[in-house]
Structure formats: structure tokens, C-alpha cells
Structure 1
Amino acid sequence: MNATTATKERAVRGRGAKRRIRLPATRTDWSQCDPANLEHPGLYINRELSWLEFNQRVLNQALDPGHPLLERVKFLAIVATNLDEFFMVRVATLLKKYRAGIEDVSPDGLNTEQQLAATRARSSEMMGALQRCWREQLRPALASEGVHILDPEEYTPQIAAHLAHYFRAEILPVLTPLAFDPGHPFPYISNLSRNFAVVVRHSGRTKFARVKIPATLDRFVTIPADMSPHAGLTFAFLEDIVRANLHHLFPGTDLQSAHLFRIIRDTDMVIQEDEADDLLESVDRSLKQLRYGALCLLEVEEAMPRRVLNILVENFEIDEDVVLRTSERMDWDDWHQLTRLHLPHLKDAPFSPRTIWSGYTEIFDDLREEDVLVHHPFDSFSSVEAFLRAAIEDPQVIAIKMTLYRIGANSPVVDMLVTAAEQGKQVAVLVELKARFDERNNIAWATRMESAGIHVVYGIVSLKTHGKLCLIIRKEPDGIRRYAHVATGNYNRATAQVYTDIGLFTSDSAIVDDISEVFNYLTGYSSRRTYDQLLVAPVSLRSQMKALIDRECEHHRAGRPARLIFKLNAIADPGMIRNLYRASQCGIPVDLIVRGVCCLRPGIPGISDTITVRSIVGRFLEHSRIYSFENGGDPEVYIGSADLMERNLDRRVEVLCPVHQPDLRAHLRDVVLETLLVDTDRARVLRTDGSYVQVNGEPGSEPINAQKRLLDVYSMLSSSSL
């Protein structure tokens, strides 16, 4: 870390960094809320705590023996990854406010200090539960299935000698000891890295050094079967091998001790609009600055001596609240490596997704006749790739426009867009450079596409473009015709195999007209405030969503059928929550299927007693957004990219698209949504107090797993589209 960066870090922390953060003393009682005051803090669940409850539901999957064993290990790793990201973004944001002395009060009435205390306490509790899950359940279960991971005390002399040889041959060459003394400044420590703080006696003095364990090395090192005391597969932990052989890095010294630690930094990138003359350059510069983000967490071994910990605390310039001592392993994200073991009997049974189009020559003919709906992963992502392939191969296609948010490390979509450009078609792509944790990938893909002659736009400085759109323009005998794909998920083949997402292919003239206008808004200058068919944020989505909910109230008051069914990932926007409370006060049934954060409290008499909230966490990540309005007996259904959060409504470009075709609309309502609403296996219901409980089915009945049922539904459908 250079002197300028260190000075900036000290300036950010400001005074009062040593204050102890206090837990909130009491919670607001929602039972005392006045139905006329829908802004009362008791009506809201804290966003950060609600997210942590979602992560607990993921952890519950790791604890559930109903899942195959390696799938449980996968869930354990996901919980850890989620927690890391939570600290990097959400806790980091709270810490910035706290260090700056900003007493921001959340809708539920907690100030910054109280939110920090509550989230840290709950996170620490969850980490303990994760560790117990591994120690008491998953590790013994793996051993019973022939997968053993040895601790150092279990090494035989033969194993120890083998691992020492492995260290010298495979690990030692990539390790770099960095001394810390007056001649060697405190080394830079990278985000999420695991490190040893090493204490040595050298030239009669006690000295310190840091050794980073490279993330490029496998965490689980295979021990040859003929050496293992167990049948099956046997591994050793990488950090144990490094610790046992550290003396090779410090010859001629007395290595006294080595203590593992890990850090998490603030990775929340902020781009100042008045400084962003070149968005690509600004994002790239911000990514470099994030390498020195302030620490959100310092995780250390329980046995780390006070003297060593003080050195870390002083040089990171943090307070004690950022420190977490642990007697267990660190960096549980690496447990994903175990899920790659070739043990199919310990994993979910594979399935063959439905293929909509076997080729691509008939696609445009099909879409002139009717819309096509796809539901991933039950339907193959090949439908999207076939749509693009048709555009590439068809000489009548003259242009392709597309938004890309999370592109992924390997993208056949980008390859196809490059091919289209090389064939002389006009290709325009909006690449969202600010997609968190995918910024570097997106910069690389954007650079490649630009070099291929694609018109690349980087979005709007003050907004993220989160909408999922593809527009194909075709010159036909009767004139120009447009074809579109609108989706709830990213154009990413890997995530389409594990995320549930909806995609709509259409040539509906009213919809494609609006999509063309959205692209004009993204690539040029447009002050358009209304769209005929689409609900577009930040232009009109908030006001139009409120109008649709208000319309449902009018239907109910007039005695016409009224009901709201929303499936989404998060509900946190206070204004939208109040709209739903008013709908409930009108007497409208409101069924919410919310995977993650839900700040709304259901079941409050006179306020939310007609609202139910359920969350489904299962084999696939529920990611689709579907909004269904009964509309007096003439149902309307929208799909798209937007959740009901302030960022989606006000700070992102989002698109919700109506599904006009009656059979597709009926499928979404009567098959997809209703199946999710009867789940009694993976569904959990939100109670008024913010806790989630198992949904109970009829006594003696088999539990209903909605995702399994949908797998059966799609497997029975023919290869033709819906």
C-alpha cells in the first residue's frame, strides 16, 4: 500500500473508529402500529437481517439430508460465498457511514450503529452454524461415503513425507515470504486472501513475515490411495501442508509460530458522475482503487497471540469490531472443489432440458405466427443461442441489438455477435461495466467486441442497465420486421443451467416498438417518459406498478375479481411495500413468492392480513420475476428483470414486459405460479416476526417439491414450444 492510499484510508475512518458498536436494545412492536400510519418502523423488517435470514435458508439446505451429500456441500459453499459478498458490499456500506459519522436510519428504525451490531452478531452466529454443519454432519457423512480429509495429527510418517515432497515440488516455488520490519513496509494484503503471519527469531531478534497462500493452488490435496489409512478418496488441507513446511522459506532462522488470517475488503465501487468523462476508464480506475478498499473483516485463528493480532490491527488501521476469531477453517468458498468430485451417486440426478428449436431456419417463421416462452433450466439455453444463430445465418437480418449484464468467463453469445459483425451485419451491444464482481470480465468482452467492429455502449453513468433484451431487425418482402427476446435472467449459458428464468420470444409489433425505443434511450439521447407496453425503470416503472396495484383495488371495490401474485427476488422499497399494504387493507389476496430479502411484514391485522410471503430455496436458484394481476377477470402478466427495490425502481434501467398470448399467460399463472404456491417441501413461510417456518402439507400426504414437479411437467411436454 502506498503512502497516499494509506492516508486516504485513515481519512475515511476518521475519528471515533475505536468506539464499541452496541446491539439494539429492543425491537419495535408491530402490534401497536396504527393502520393509518404505514410508515411506522414496526411495519418493516430490516433489509440486512432479512438477507441473512435468506442465507440461513440456504444453510438449511446444507443441513437437510433430503439432498444428495455433495449437493449439501455445495449449499455450504454457497452460504460462505454469500457471506463474503455480504461483507464486501452491505457491511462495507454500513461501515463507511459509521466511520463518516452518518446516522442513517433504516425504515425499520435502526440507525447505522445498530444495524452494524445486529448484522455482525447474526453473521457470526451463522458462521458458527456453518462450521458445526461441516464438523458434525457433512465431514462425517463424506467419510462414510469414502471421502476423507485428514487433519495433521492423522498423518502417518509416509503421508507426512509425501506431503513434504509435494510442498517442495508444487507449492514452494509459488510462495513469496514478505518480511515486515523498518526496512520492509507492511505488505499489501489482497481481498479474500488467506495468509500466514509468521513469527521468527533472526539475528537475535523477533521478526515478522507474511506468507500468502495462492488461490491458484487446490485447497484439497490428494493423498495416494496406497498411502491412505482409509479406503476411497483421501485429501489433506493445503494450509496444513504449508504450515508444516514453512521452515523451508526461512532457512537459518528459528521459526517460532505461524498464524492463519484472512481479510475481506470493501468492494462497493462508486463512480462520481462528474468525474466519469470516460466510463470504461473510470470503471477500470475504480477497480484498481478497490484493491485497497477498507477492511470489513479480519478473520484470525483463535490461537493467534495478542501481540501478532495487534500488529495486524495497527497496520490495517481497524478497530476491534472488525476482528473475528475462529477455531475452525476459513474461506469455505473452496468447498466448491469437493462438488467437482466424480461421484454421481452423491449428486442430483442429471436431466435433459427441453429443446425448443432443433435448428434455426424455422425460428422467424414460427415467431411470425405466435410468441414462444422458455423456462430455464427446464428449457435449454440453446433456444437463445439458436435465435442468435438464426440472425447470423439469415441474409435478411440486417441488425442485432442486445444488452449484456453478467456475461461470464466463457461466452458463446459474444462469439456469435462477433461473427455477425464480421459478416457485415450491424451489431450494437450495451455492456454494463458496473455489474458487480463481473466488471473485469465485461471490460475484456467489451474490448474484444469493439475490436471486431461492434458498436459497444457502456451504459449510463448514473444507472446500471439490468434489463435483458435482444432485438433482431430483418428486411422482409413486406418491409422491416423486428423480433425480440425479453428475459428475466442474464445471457449466460452457465447460470441458465442452475437459475430458474423466463424468456419470451416475440414479434408483437407493439412490444418490439417499445424495445426499439428502449435501445434508443440506452444508446442515444431520449427524454421519453412513457411506453405503450413495457414498464421501464427509472422512467415509469414505479408509477405504473403503483397504478396497476391501485387498479386491482378498484376492481375489488367494484366486486370484480382481484388478486396479486408476485414472484421476485426481493421486496425492500418502502413505497412499494406501502402500496401492497394498501392493497391488503382493501381486502385483496396478495401472494408473494420472494426468494431473498423481504422487508414487508405479513399478517398484521388491519394492515397486511391478506398477504402471504413464501420463499423457495431448492436445487435451482429461483431467479425469475413474474407479476400477475387478476384485473377483474382479464388477467395481465408481466415478466422481466426488476425486483421491488429502490435500486431497481430508481437507479437501474429495468424492463417488465407483458405476456399477451393467452396460452402463455395461462401457463405462467396456472402452472408455474400455482405450482410454486403449493410447495410443501422447500417452501418456507414468512411470519410476522420476521422468522420463516416450514410449510405443512395435508396430514399423511407426500411433500410437494415445486421444482421437481416442474421438471416433470416440462419433461412431458413435446419438443414444440408452449
Structure 2
Amino acid sequence: MNKPEPLPEDRFFNRELSWLEFNQRVLDHADDENNPALERLKFLAITSSNLDEFFMVRVGGLILQSRRPESFTDPSGLSTAEQLSAIRTRYRKMVDDQYRILLEDIEPTLLAHGIARVTMDDAGEQHQKTARSVFQTLIQPVLSPQIVSSGEFPLVQVLSIQLCVRLKGLTEETPWDYAIIPLGRAVGRVVTLPTEGGYAYALLEDVVTHHIDEFFNGREVAECIAFRVTRNADIAIQEDSARDLMVGMEELLESRRTSGCVRLEIDERVSEEMLQFLSDKMDLCDQNITSMRGPLDLTYLFQLAGLKGFSALRDPHWAPQHSPEIDPAESMFDNIAQRDLLLLHPYEQFDPVVRLIQEAAEDPDVLAIKQVLYRTSRNSPIVAALMRAAERGKYVTAIVELKARFDEARNIEWAREMEASGVQVVYGVRGLKTHAKICIVVRRETQGIARYVHFGTGNYNEATAALYGDVSMMTCNEEFGADATNFFNSVIGASQPQQFHQLSMAPTSLRTRVLSLIENETRRRAQGQRAVIVAKMNALVDNTIIDALYRASQAGVKIKLNIRGICCLKPGVPGLSENIEVTSIIDRFLEHARIAYFHHGGDEAVFISSADWMPRNLDRRVELFVPVQDTACRQKLLQSLDTYFQDNVNAWQLGPDGVYTRKTPTKGKRFRAQEVLYNTVVAEVKKAEHVRRTHFETHQAEPK
């Protein structure tokens, strides 16, 4: 066999810049006049929230890396300094676009429909009177200014709005004094104002600034400016040295509060004197300071996007449908025993998953429940069911991943509550994050012990399940049940990884399985056979898998990838990847499902997974790669996968130069994948209802 030609060195896109292009696609939806105004606000808020996490984690990590004596170059060939420089340039353009869209487009559109942001300098008498009343009764008693000129600078809370006040000094030696007022979260950011129709509001920082003199009676206020600090959150816990993982996680959360500042956002009207004061106190250079020409922290727009009423300004409601494959009159155990079930969320309700665990908690024949919890909702019915099951004497085990970034505090709280209820709580695996989505219910039945298993691509969170595009599969197949048992034995029992009949698990075998499947398609194509790879995921970063896909493309394998976010693979490069197509869909639901298809010589291999093709998922997390074997489930999944590649409304195609181009309908034929998926589910529900109405079932007399 001939030795393969070496692949070109410039075959990868930079991960961080690729992520910024993903956020730009989200921002483009805010910039799209075809979207309803409140939906555009939501997309704008998402871009702001995304950037917060990007700076805390990715930029924070790069800044730490830049301070090390050794030099680093990423796979695209950029040094750490070059990455930071490129990020700042791209970020500045993105911020300018955010405020252009908000101030010059969306706010005027909302104003025309009766939704107005009122600035105190331009407020009428009635609004001034209301704002003053709110300030005196709700705001002033809560807030406390802190003079900081001569003292130690206070610990500024991460991502919260602060006001910096410049006061005329009391002595000639000190011309200026400064005070910090943290606005915190006790008082709402949006202050509702009276209006005869529509909705009027002011922002908290504007109301406080307008009344700032009342905090400093007898002092001359020269300036009051809003600012916001982002701190480095790329802090790893040293699990080997932590006395206890729970204690270690609490220490990590505390360290985030005091970590270095990686970004200062500030009102562009700030004076040179105040900017210099803040820069000195927080040890910031100009590169880490961003001036804003509008309100800071655009995540407040989520609240406006959720305003009641104004239905003409938002998308029509798509209510999640009850799956026609599930009989509500039967238990989930009976439903799953009849056939494997595959659900497409959020088009189909997440309720059956919740119902399975709730029924398991109450069923006297259920002996044990074992489940991985990575991210849950604030009032999780699943956690409540697990605690109820333990209180009823069932053997309940929950793997609660304390290292789920930004959900650590909630998971610590849940872990303690579950332990108090008798749940056996396991805090993940040392050195790894447990990210797999799996639950097993062990039940005593007439024929013996049965195991009911749920596998998913998304979290056990009923709130996000209504917003994220994910897949659930439920089965009582014996091999899957045995694999699920072996999985929990491996993770909980600290035993050697078990042999699986069907599943592949990271970090032990998932990478190998994916590479083997890709290489199998490559060999078949080299032998003249048909070879196809189709995959959908959130991110494609892993160099080894990307190189395997390049080799497959060079052999002639047709590869279609639907990647929502980061993609480091360059498609469409002659001689390297001309057989690879990469698209990305940004729409009303967050695309989150991981699905993979391999033609496999006609014996099609189809999988769902909790893992993206990234080093962190394949090497540093506990993940699952699950084959879909049931014929009906497989067909349903493949139809949905094919739907994504037909989108010409909200799909973007990635070019070899890294530029995403939005697809457009040909001959006026619109195809919006999420709309088609929802309408397909609705049609299936109506069809099932029609069948039930035309099928007569008689009541039979009881046999004597």
C-alpha cells in the first residue's frame, strides 16, 4: 500500500476565530430584518452572553498562556500573541455591529411598536416622577457607595454593572476622590415606567446616575460612569491535592471571584482621568479595555424579548408535541417494552423522559435508578424524583458532575440535597468530566430483571429541552441494558473499563471507534465501493479526526458535515477536501444534537452521541457513542439528518477561506429545516389522532 502524501501544514482554521465567526452568525440573525423585532433582541442578547463566556474561558486561558516563558503555536500556526491580537480586532468589530444593530435599527423598530427605552435626560415629567419614586423607595436604601481613592480597591463582582463616581476632592492635595457603587442583582436592571400603551422602561444605571447627587450630599459630582469587569474563569481544580472534591470546587468558585481581570467594558463617555484611575487600580492595559456607545451588558435584552403581549413581534409559538409513538394511557415501561423509542426535541416533548424517572420513583417493582446529571434546571423534577425514589427505599445513584463549568454551584447544592435524601452521590471521575447522558432503571418483572435505558445528546434539563435541538433514545434491549450496567460499574466502581456490546465510551474507545468508521469508508472507496459520511455536531476541532476526514475526501468519500459552531476543518480545498461540505444552521432553537452516519457498505451505521469531535470530549471527558439499531428509530433519525442539509433559509456554507455564506432559496422555494421538522411532527400527531378516531375498540365483558 502506497504511503499517503503528507497533508499541508495550513490545513486548520484557528479555533478561537472560528468561534467568533459562529457568534457573528448569531449576530447576523439580530441584523436580519426578516426576523421579528423581539426575536432579534434575543439573538443580540445571546451574542453578548456568548462573548462573556468566551472572554472568561478562552481569552482568559490565552492570557495565562501568554505569560508563560515557553512559546505556544496553535495548529493553524498562530502564536498566542497573534491569536489575542486577531481576537481583539474581530471582537471590536463585533461590538460596533452590536450597538449599530441595537441603537440604529432594533430600538427604533421597537419604538414604532410602542416599546421605548427612556433615558433620564430626555424623560418627561411623569417618567421623571416615577423614576425618582423608584430610586428613593427601592434603589437608594439598597445601594452603598464606597470611597476608594486612598483605600484598597474593592473586589468588583464579575459581570455585574458598577458605577464609578468622580468627586471633587476635599483638599488641594487630592483634587479628586472616587467612589464605586456596585448595582448588583438585588434591584432589577430594567425599571418599568408608566405608559398608556405599549411598554416603557429605563435602565437601572441611568436612573441611579440621574440621582447620583443624593448619595453625596454637599459634594460636587464631576462624573458618573458605568463599567463592567470580566475575570478569568479558566481555572482548573487540582483534584489530587484537594482535601475533598466538594471543598475543592467551592475553593475554585471563590478563586473565580478574585481572579485577574481580562476585560473592562466601560461607557465611551468616560474621562481620561477616570479611565486612568480604573486602569491603575485593576492593573489593566489598553488592549483589555473596551468602550461602549450604548448600555453595557446586553443580556438584559433577554428580559425584553420575553415581554408578555406583542405577539406580532415574535415568532409563532411552536408547542412541543406529544409523541404519537407513546401511549399516555400506558406506563413508560410498557411503551418502551413494545418498541425502542426515539424522540426529536424540542419538536417532541421531553416529558416522556421525565415521566420515566417519575414512574420509576413510584413503581414498587423498580429496584434501582442510576443516572448522570451534568446540567439540571433550578427546580428539577428529575432530581426531585430521584430523591423521592431514595426515600422510598430504592437504590438510587446519581453521578453529579461538579465540574460542569458555571453550573458548579447549582450542582453542589443538588448533590447535598440528594445525599440528605439517601441518594448515593458520586462526584464524577477524577481528572475527567462526566458528560454522558444516560439513565438506567432496573425493574423486577415476571420474566426476571429488566433494564430500561435512556440515552440522549442533551442534558436532563426540561427547561433547555424546550429550546435545544436534541435526540433521546429509550430502549429495554438486553445488550444496551448490559452495556449501561457496565458503564456505571466502570465509572462508579473504579473498576477497569468494561467491554461493551454496543456502546463506545470516551476516553477509552470512542475516538478509536470514530476513526475506525472513517477509515472503513476510506478503504471501501479506494476499492471502488460507495462511501458516505454524514455528521452533525456542535464543534469539530480534533486534529486527528480532521486529518482522517481529509484522507477520506482524498480517496473520494462524500462527506457532509453540519457543524453549528467551531469548525477547524477547511472544506472545499482542491486535492485535500473538495469532497467535504460544511454547513451551519442558526435558527430559533439551539442545534445541539450529535448524530453520525456511515454508509458502511450498505449496512448503514447510525449513532447518537453526547460528544463533539473535540480533544476535550474524546480525551478528557466521559462520553458515550450510541448506535441506533431499531429500524424505525434509525429511519426517523436519518430523515431528520437529511432535513438539515436541505435548509436554504438559515443555513450557512463554510468556504475554504473561512468565510460563511448564507444559503438562499432557489426559484423561491424556501426550505427551513427547523420549520419542516416541527411541521412533520405535527402532521404525524394529527395522523395518529385520525387513526385513533377511526379505530373502534369495544368494551368486552369480563370472562366468568
TM-score, normalized by the shorter chain, greater than 0.5: yes
Q: Name the structure 1 match of 2:159.
A: 192
Unaligned runs of 5+ in 1: 1-33
Deviation at 1:616, TM superposition (A): 0.2
Partner amino acid, structure 1, of 2:261: L
Deviation at 1:239, TM superposition (A): 1.2
SS at match of 2:187: coil
Aligned positions of 1:154-303 closer than 5 A: 154-182=122-150, 184-204=151-171, 205=174, 206-225=176-195, 231-303=197-269
SS at match of 1:717: helix
Q: Name the structure 1 match of 2:609.
A: 640
2-structure distance, mates of 1:381, 1:457 = 25
2-structure distance, mates of 1:667, 1:555 = 26
Q: Name the structure 2 match of 1:513.
A: 482
1-structure distance, mates of 2:153, 2:685 = 64
Given that 1:46 and 1:599 are in contact with CA atoms closer than 8 Å, whether structure 2 keeps it comes out as: yes
2-structure distance, mates of 1:360, 1:276 = 50
1-structure distance, mates of 2:623, 2:671 = 33
The answer as to 2:284 corresponding to 1:318 is yes
2-structure distance, mates of 1:35, 1:81 = 44
Given that 2:99 and 2:293 are in contact with CA atoms closer than 8 Å, whether structure 1 keeps it comes out as: no
Distance change in 2, residues 1:689/1:207 (3 Å): same
Deviation at 1:358, TM superposition (A): 5.2
Aligned positions of 1:563-578 closer than 5 A: 563-578=532-547
Aligned positions of 1:455-470 closer than 5 A: 455-470=424-439
Given that 2:504 and 2:624 are in contact with CA atoms closer than 8 Å, whether structure 1 keeps it comes out as: yes
Given that 1:408 and 1:438 are in contact with CA atoms closer than 8 Å, whether structure 2 keeps it comes out as: no
Partner amino acid, structure 2, of 1:527: Q
Deviation at 1:170, TM superposition (A): 1.2
SS at match of 2:140: helix
SS at match of 1:94: helix
Deviation at 1:360, TM superposition (A): 7.0
Deviation at 1:165, TM superposition (A): 2.2
2-structure distance, mates of 1:360, 1:116 = 58
Per-residue CA deviations over 1:266-313 (Å, capped at 9, x if unaligned) read 112301132134111111111111100111101122222222222211
Count of aligned pairs between the two proteins: 680
Given that 2:426 and 2:492 are in contact with CA atoms closer than 8 Å, whether structure 1 keeps it comes out as: yes
Given that 1:360 and 1:389 are in contact with CA atoms closer than 8 Å, whether structure 2 keeps it comes out as: no
Aligned positions of 1:354-433 closer than 5 A: 354-356=321-323, 357=326, 359=328, 361-433=330-402
Given that 1:683 and 1:695 are in contact with CA atoms closer than 8 Å, whether structure 2 keeps it comes out as: yes
1-structure distance, mates of 2:261, 2:182 = 17
1-structure distance, mates of 2:184, 2:59 = 26
1-structure distance, mates of 2:9, 2:221 = 56
Q: Name the structure 1 match of 2:700.
A: none
Partner amino acid, structure 1, of 2:105: Q
Q: Name the structure 2 match of 1:5.
A: none
Per-residue CA deviations over 1:433-465 (Å, capped at 9, x if unaligned) read 011110101000010000000000000121000
Deviation at 1:53, TM superposition (A): 0.4
Aligned positions of 1:619-634 closer than 5 A: 619-634=588-603
The answer as to 2:620 corresponding to 1:654 is no
Distance change in 2, residues 1:515/1:529 (3 Å): closer
Distance change in 2, residues 1:244/1:153 (3 Å): closer
TM-score normalised by L of structure 1: 0.92
Distance change in 2, residues 1:657/1:207 (3 Å): same
1-structure distance, mates of 2:632, 2:526 = 29
Given that 1:360 and 1:387 are in contact with CA atoms closer than 8 Å, whether structure 2 keeps it comes out as: no
Given that 1:499 and 1:623 are in contact with CA atoms closer than 8 Å, whether structure 2 keeps it comes out as: yes
Partner amino acid, structure 2, of 1:324: T
Q: Name the structure 1 match of 2:685.
A: 718
Unaligned runs of 5+ in 2: 690-704
1-structure distance, mates of 2:516, 2:651 = 30
Q: Name the structure 2 match of 1:4.
A: none
Q: Name the structure 2 match of 1:139.
A: 107
SS at match of 1:260: strand
The answer as to 2:633 corresponding to 1:664 is yes
TM-score normalised by L of structure 2: 0.94
Aligned positions of 1:462-611 closer than 5 A: 462-528=431-497, 530-611=499-580
SS at match of 1:500: strand
SS at match of 2:269: coil
Given that 2:564 and 2:584 are in contact with CA atoms closer than 8 Å, whether structure 1 keeps it comes out as: yes
Partner amino acid, structure 2, of 1:575: T
1-structure distance, mates of 2:35, 2:9 = 39
Given that 1:35 and 1:606 are in contact with CA atoms closer than 8 Å, whether structure 2 keeps it comes out as: no
How large is the Cα RMSD of the aligned pairs?
1.7
Deviation at 1:257, TM superposition (A): 1.2
Deviation at 1:327, TM superposition (A): 2.3
Deviation at 1:202, TM superposition (A): 4.6
Per-residue CA deviations over 1:641-695 (Å, capped at 9, x if unaligned) read 00000000000000010000112111211x2011111100000000000010012
1-structure distance, mates of 2:499, 2:262 = 42
Given that 1:529 and 1:540 are in contact with CA atoms closer than 8 Å, whether structure 2 keeps it comes out as: no
Q: Name the structure 2 match of 1:61.
A: 29
SS at match of 2:483: helix
Q: Name the structure 2 match of 1:83.
A: 51
Deviation at 1:175, TM superposition (A): 0.6
Given that 2:103 and 2:294 are in contact with CA atoms closer than 8 Å, whether structure 1 keeps it comes out as: no
Q: Name the structure 2 match of 1:695.
A: 663
Per-residue CA deviations over 1:386-407 (Å, capped at 9, x if unaligned) read 1112212221110000000011
2-structure distance, mates of 1:359, 1:413 = 19
Given that 2:371 and 2:399 are in contact with CA atoms closer than 8 Å, whether structure 1 keeps it comes out as: yes
Given that 1:243 and 1:258 are in contact with CA atoms closer than 8 Å, whether structure 2 keeps it comes out as: yes
SS at match of 2:96: helix
2-structure distance, mates of 1:360, 1:35 = 59
2-structure distance, mates of 1:127, 1:575 = 34
Deviation at 1:318, TM superposition (A): 2.4
Per-residue CA deviations over 1:606-659 (Å, capped at 9, x if unaligned) read 110100000000010000000111111110101010000000000000001000
The percent identity for this pair of structures is 39
Deviation at 1:65, TM superposition (A): 2.1
Partner amino acid, structure 2, of 1:553: T
SS at match of 1:352: coil
Given that 1:530 and 1:539 are in contact with CA atoms closer than 8 Å, whether structure 2 keeps it comes out as: no
Deviation at 1:529, TM superposition (A): 6.3
Q: Name the structure 2 match of 1:24.
A: none
Given that 1:361 and 1:390 are in contact with CA atoms closer than 8 Å, whether structure 2 keeps it comes out as: no
Q: Name the structure 2 match of 1:351.
A: 318
2-structure distance, mates of 1:590, 1:157 = 64
Q: Name the structure 1 match of 2:696.
A: none
SS at match of 1:421: helix
Distance change in 2, residues 1:158/1:351 (3 Å): closer
Distance change in 2, residues 1:201/1:289 (3 Å): same
Deviation at 1:218, TM superposition (A): 2.4
Deviation at 1:135, TM superposition (A): 1.0
1-structure distance, mates of 2:608, 2:294 = 44
1-structure distance, mates of 2:431, 2:297 = 34
Deviation at 1:530, TM superposition (A): 4.4
Given that 1:550 and 1:583 are in contact with CA atoms closer than 8 Å, whether structure 2 keeps it comes out as: yes
Partner amino acid, structure 2, of 1:98: S
Deviation at 1:224, TM superposition (A): 1.2
SS at match of 1:718: helix
Partner amino acid, structure 1, of 2:315: D
